[in-house]
């Protein structure tokens, strides 16, 4: 088998522009319907071949990241080696920029990037669908990272339908510096729904009405997208309502999320939403200049105590990626 010694890959963060949680399966997984979008906030991984006796080792300066066998990067490497009969040691240097437990899919993206990187390292070209299926065994977000940068995601994350955005947009990502457990958020959502019929927030159209408005049709049994796969979505227009079923759960415990949303709206964001299970909130802007200006004001607000003083806040400006700008950079040597 031909191979290289070192490969560098980037793992992009994602945001959820739309997230409906449909129901809980007997296996414990939840069916979702989501519009996911990659942004140019990246982790960086350097994969280097080592003697087999060295095993798999992750090197990082992030002290909050568990590096044992439960780490998704390690699990992805092991699944790849078992699937393709590769025997080698591996050193993975991780430069972590995506906050942990932030609703930005950093762990899943790192695992997907590991699978991409190992393909490059050993000069293998399995179909993306094959890699996505391999990733599905590790987490529900992984298949998206083989179908992005923009895609409708359905089922338990295994149904991915690439699409595109109508415009080049920018986002201000605000993370208040604490982690949120995805397991806890989904558990609380199940508990809430078991006690009373779910109600949509004021101003949010019912799911079927909204999907019909933007030109999508779903098969009731499989929730498979039947049309509109290549539709371009004008996210900054009234016809598209950003929505996240998990937001109400996380805000109940962490009301600062609502404060962040209100501040981003006041600074001119065309749409604001919590991503995934939170706590990261994003605001959409039409250009980089207005996004950078809003981020600068937020940083001053934080510095002068106008925002919650607690936590290690991160405020970043990121571009929403598309197929023209690209979303994956691979450097080989």
| Residue 14 designated active-site | yes
Structure tokens at 57: 């080792």
| Residue closest to 42 by CA, chosen among 290, 295, 286, 318 | 318
Structure tokens at 71: 């780490």
Q: Which residues are 315's β-sheet partners? A: 174
Catalytic annotation, pick one of 14, 43, 110, 302: 14
Structure tokens at 259: 């404060």
| Residue closest to 137 by CA, chosen among 61, 182, 80 | 80
Cβ neighbours for 149, distance < 8 A, ≥ 6 positions apart: 12, 37, 38, 320, 321, 322, 323, 327
| Residue closest to 77 by CA, chosen among 13, 9, 144 | 9
Catalytic annotation, pick one of 110, 141, 245, 302: 141
Residue with tokens 């109940």: 252
Residue with tokens 């986002």: 171
| Residue 219 designated active-site | no
The runs of H, that is alpha helices, within 102-144 are 106-121, 128-136
The runs of H, that is alpha helices, within the chain are 72-84, 106-121, 128-136, 182-195, 207-213, 247-253, 256-266, 288-303
Report the alpha-carbon distance of residue 332 to residue 6 in Å, rounded.
6
Residue 148 in 3-state DSSP?
Answer: coil
| Residue closest to 240 by CA, chosen among 313, 332, 167 | 167
**150 contacts 322 by C-beta, under 8 angstroms:** yes
Report the alpha-carbon distance of residue 43 to residue 148 in Å, rounded.
16
Catalytic residue IDs: 14, 141
């Amino acid at each position: 088998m031909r191979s290289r010694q070192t490969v560098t890959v980037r793992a992009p963060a994602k945001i959820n522009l739309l997230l409906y949680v449909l129901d809980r399966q007997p296996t414990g997984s939840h069916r979702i319907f989501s519009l996911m979008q990659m942004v140019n906030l990246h982790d960086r991984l350097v994969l280097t071949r080592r003697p087999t006796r060295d095993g798999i080792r992750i090197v990082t300066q992030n002290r909050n990241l568990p590096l044992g066998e439960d780490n998704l990067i390690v699990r992805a490497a092991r699944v790849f080696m078992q699937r393709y009969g590769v025997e080698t040691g591996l050193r993975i240097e991780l430069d972590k920029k995506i906050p942990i437990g932030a609703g930005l899919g950093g762990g899943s993206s790192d695992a997907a990037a590991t699978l991409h990187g190992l393909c490059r390292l050993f000069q293998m070209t399995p179909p993306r669908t094959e890699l996505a299926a391999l990733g599905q065994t590790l987490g529900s977000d992984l298949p998206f990272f083989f179908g992005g940068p923009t895609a409708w995601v359905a089922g338990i994350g295994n149904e991915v339908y690439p699409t595109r955005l109508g415009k080049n947009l920018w986002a201000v990502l605000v993370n208040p510096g604490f982690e949120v457990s995805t397991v806890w958020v989904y558990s609380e959502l199940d508990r809430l729904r078991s006690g009373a019929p779910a109600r949509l927030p004021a101003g949010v159209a019912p799911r079927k009405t909204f999907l019909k408005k933007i030109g999508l049709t779903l098969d009731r049994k499989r929730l498979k997208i039947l049309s509109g796969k290549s539709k371009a979505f004008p996210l900054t227009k009234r016809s598209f309502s950003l929505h996240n079923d998990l937001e109400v759960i996380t805000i109940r415990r962490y009301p600062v999320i609502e404060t962040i949303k209100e501040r981003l709206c006041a600074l001119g964001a065309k749409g604001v939403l919590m991503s995934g299970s939170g706590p990261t909130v994003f605001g959409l802007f039409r250009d980089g200049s207005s996004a950078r200006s809003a981020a600068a004001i937020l940083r001053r607000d934080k510095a002068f105590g106008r925002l919650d003083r607690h936590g290690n806040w991160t405020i970043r400006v990121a571009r929403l990626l598309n197929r023209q700008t690209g979303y994956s950079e691979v450097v080989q040597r």
